[in-house]
Chain A
C-alpha cells in the first residue's frame, strides 16, 4: 500500500523558516518524481515545487523561487521542502504528492494527508 506521511508543519512568524518532510512507503521511491502541492484555507490547489527522479532537477512556482528548496533522500525514501522567508500568503495545508512517472511532468497519483503551515505574527 502506497503511503505518504508529511510532518514538520506548524506556526511561524513572518520571515521564519520551516522544513517539511514526507516519509513514504509502499513503492520504489527513487524511480518516481515527487511534488509539493498546497491549499490555502477554503481555496483551491496550487502546485508549489517538484523534483525529478531521473536527474534530480528541481522545479518551483514563481512565488516561492529563491525562498523554498525541494530535495529528496532516496536512501530514506523521504521528500523535503525547506521553506525560508515565510510570508503570510504561504499559509496553507502542504501536501506531498507522488507523480506517476520518473521524469518531469505527470499527474499526481498518490497524496499524503497534508501538514498545516501557519505564518502569523
Chain B
C-alpha cells in the first residue's frame, strides 16, 4: 500500500458531463502529481501541485483543471467530457522533488 488514496475507483459518465477525481497524498508529502494512463498514450504527466501551488504543467487539456487544498488533498476536474477522455487517472505524491508514490487510480469511462 503506497499510502496514496484515490476516490472513486470507478466512474462512468456521459459525454459532455463534468467529474471530479480526488486524491489524498501520503502523510507528510507536500507534492501531488496527476497522470493519465491510456492504451495509446501510456502514462502522461498532467500537472503537479506543491503545498497548494501549481508547480509544473504537462499536456493537460484546457477542459481539465486541478487544485490542492490546505489539507493537501487534491482534486482533478474534468469537464465537457469526450469519449477519448476514458482512461485511468493516477495521483502520485512525494516529499518535494523526491520519489513518486502512486495511488491505485480512478478508472473513468465516458459513454
- Are A and B part of the same complex? no
